[in-house]
Amino acid sequence: MSSVRSGNQGKRRLVVESVTLGLGYSAVLVWIGSAFVGSFGDFNDAYPYWPAIPHLRTDTAGFFAFAIAAVCLVVSRYLQLGRRNGAPAEPAAGPRPARVLAVQAVADVAVLLGTGLVIYLSVNGAMHPWTLPVQLTHLLPWPSEGTVRVIALAICLVAVATRRYLRATATRPARPAPVPEKAGVAA
């Protein structure tokens, strides 16, 4: 009975993992589209992202999409790491604690989104250098685009280092024992 429950729970967790990955990926695409409008548009982000929702500005849609992407991708990555954590491990160590998986999930997503932010703000700085000292979004009075670019660089530094360390210290799934070849067998 417990194997049926754990099997159903595993399938539900996989569905949540998959849906949050899909939602996070789509949110990244919304953010990228909004970033392109901000970098290459006519400097009027007040246009609606989608005419069916006329009051949702393109820059506002990008802001919310980035936040949604961060949450969904961390949840999806955490569930993926947890699922992989149950694989048979080499005898050196057992499964990793949930907090370590959470840190790795955050680091994995921070690398992706931090890199995207640096690229976007760098392109935006090349296209509209006068906007670097301006606040990043109309939703918040601080920080400026230039400050966020430096913060994103620092996040990438810490996240890449954390990722490398955690991946290097992770247990590896056990390898199957090699099958010995039979010597002296004639065909």
Q: List, for residues 49-65, the tens digit of each pLDDT value.
A: 777 888 888 888 889 99
Query: Which are the contacts of 98, defined by CB distance < 8 A and separation ≥ 6?
Result: 82
Nearest C-alpha neighbor of 162 from the set 99, 83, 119: 99
pLDDT digits (tens, 9 = 90+) for 14-52: 889 888 988 999 899 888 988 888 888 776 656 777 778
Q: Are 76 and 17 in contact (CB under 8 A)?
A: yes
Rounded CA-CA distance 160/53 in Å is: 38
**What is the structure's pLDDT at 99?**
93
β-pair partners for 135:
144
Is pTM beyond 0.95? Reply is no
Nearest C-alpha neighbor of 116 from the set 53, 62, 184: 62
The residue assigned the tokens 């970098």 is 39
pLDDT truncated to tens, each residue of the chain (187 aa)? Answer: 444 456 788 788 888 988 898 899 989 988 898 888 888 877 665 677 777 888 888 888 889 999 999 999 999 999 988 888 865 545 445 688 899 999 999 999 999 999 999 898 888 888 888 878 888 888 888 898 888 888 988 899 889 888 888 887 876 555 555 666 665 555 5
Nearest C-alpha neighbor of 136 from the set 42, 38, 46: 38
Q: DSSP letter at 177? A: P
Specify whether the backbone of 43 is left (phi greater than 0), alpha (psi in -120 to 50) or beta.
left
